[in-house]
Amino acid sequence: MDKTLRDELFQKAKQWVYEAGELIKERMNEPLSIDTKSNANDLVTILDKETEKFFIKKIKANYPEHLVLSEEGFGDKLKSLDGIIWIIDPIDGTMNFVHQKRNFAISLGIYCEGIGEIGIIYDVMGNCLYHAKKGEGAYKNEKQLAPLKEKLVLKESIIGMNHYWLCENRLIDHQDMQQFIRTIRGVRTYGSAALEFAYVAEGILDAYLTMKLSPWDIAAGIVIVQEVGGVTTDIFGQPVNMLTDNPVMVANSVISEQIATVMRKGKK
C-alpha cells in the first residue's frame, strides 16, 4: 500500500474510532440488551452490534471496494486475504464492558494483501489511543513507544494470561504450565486481548499468551507490536492464520522463543 493511501485510511479510521467511542459512552448507561453466544459467559450487547454497524456503514460509503472482517457478523464472508480488509472488533472485552463499564477497547486493523498496514486500539474509558502505521513506529496518543527491551529475562517477566492455562486444557499439559508460572515474575489478566497486545507494545507486559483468539482480537495489535520489535505467533512459535482462530503469543523475540520452547515441550 502506498503511503498516501495509508495516511488517508489512518486519518479516517482514527476519526471513526473516536466517533464510535463517543457513541458507546453516550449509550452505555441505557439498557444493553445482553445476549449470550457460544456459552453463558460469552456475552454480546446491543452496542457491540451497533458499533460494528457504524464502522461498516462508514467503510462501505467511503470505500465500497474494501472488505470488512468483524466479530458480530455484519461484515463480509472472507475466503482469502486478497484486497484491502478492515478487521474490526467493535468492543473487545465485552465482559469488562458489561460488568465494569471500563477496560474494554475498540480494535481496528487494516490489512492489504494479508499485510498489516494500520493498527488502532482505543481504550475508550481510559481515553487512550494506541496506534501504528507500518514502518512508522507505534504510538500511545501522541507519544512514540520505545522498542521492546531484548535483554529482559524470562524470570523477571510479567506475562498476560488467564486462569484457563492452570486448568486441564486441550493444548498444553497444565502441570507443565503450573511449573512454568513458578519460573516467571508474575501474571496479569486484563480481559481484553487488544489491550493486552497494547500493553506488550507499551512494555508494561512482557508477553501475552492466550489459547484461542480470532483475527479481530489481534489484527490491530499485531501491527502495533511489530513497530516496537515484538513478534506475534501461535504459542508454539508458528505463524498465525488471519482467517481462523489461533492460540496466540506475543512478546519480544527473545522471550517469544523461550516461551515457545516451553510450550512445545508441554504440547499435548
How many of the other CB atoms lie within 10 Å of CB of 239?
10
Residue nearest to ligand IPD (CB): 193
Cβ closest to ligand IPD, residue 112 vs residue 235:
235
As to burial, measured by CB atoms within 10 angstroms (0-12 exposed, 13-18 middle, 19+ buried), residue 41 is exposed
Per CB under 6 A, which of residues 33..62 are in contact with ligand IPD?
none
Q: In the sheet where 186-188 sits, what is the strand order?
A: 186-188, 158-160, 207-213, 246-252, 230-234
Task: Report the residue number, 112 or 198, with the smaller CB distance to ligand IPD.
Answer: 198
- Judged by beta carbon, residue 92 or residue 202, the one nearer Ca ion is 92
Tell which one of 138, 193, 218, 235 touches ligand IPD (CB under 6 A): 193
Residue 92 found at the interface with ligand IPD (CB under 6 A): yes
The correct pick among 159, 161, 209, 213 for binding ligand IPD (CB under 6 A) is 213
Q: Residue 201 forms beta bridges with which residues?
A: none
User: Do 105 and 195 meet the contact criterion of CB atoms below 8 Å apart?
Assistant: yes
User: What Cα–Cα distance (Å) separates residue 88 from each residue in 64, 150, 172, 246?
Assistant: 16, 30, 29, 16
Q: Interaction with Ca ion in 28-87: which residues (CB under 5 A)? A: 71
List 196, 206, 217, 227, residue binding Ca ion (CB under 5 A): 217
Near ligand IPD in 57-86, by CB under 6 A: 71
> According to the binding rule CB under 5 A, does residue 202 interact with Ca ion?
no
Grid cell digits, residue 18: 473516536
The contacts of residue 3 (CB under 8 Å, 6+ apart) are: none
Question: What does the DSSP 8-state code read for residue 172?
Answer: B
123 binds Ca ion (CB under 5 A): no
Q: Does 227 bind Ca ion (CB under 5 A)?
A: no
Which positions ≥6 away from 253 have C-beta within 8 Å?
150, 229, 230, 231
With binding defined as CB under 6 A, does residue 217 bind ligand IPD? yes
Residue 209 three-state SS:
strand
Task: List the x/- string, 153-192, binding to ligand IPD by CB under 6 A.
Answer: --------------------------------------xx
Q: Where on the chain is the footprint of Ca ion (CB under 5 A)?
A: 71, 89, 91-92, 94, 217
Q: Where on the chain is the footprint of ligand IPD (CB under 6 A)?
A: 71, 89, 92-94, 191-193, 210, 213, 217
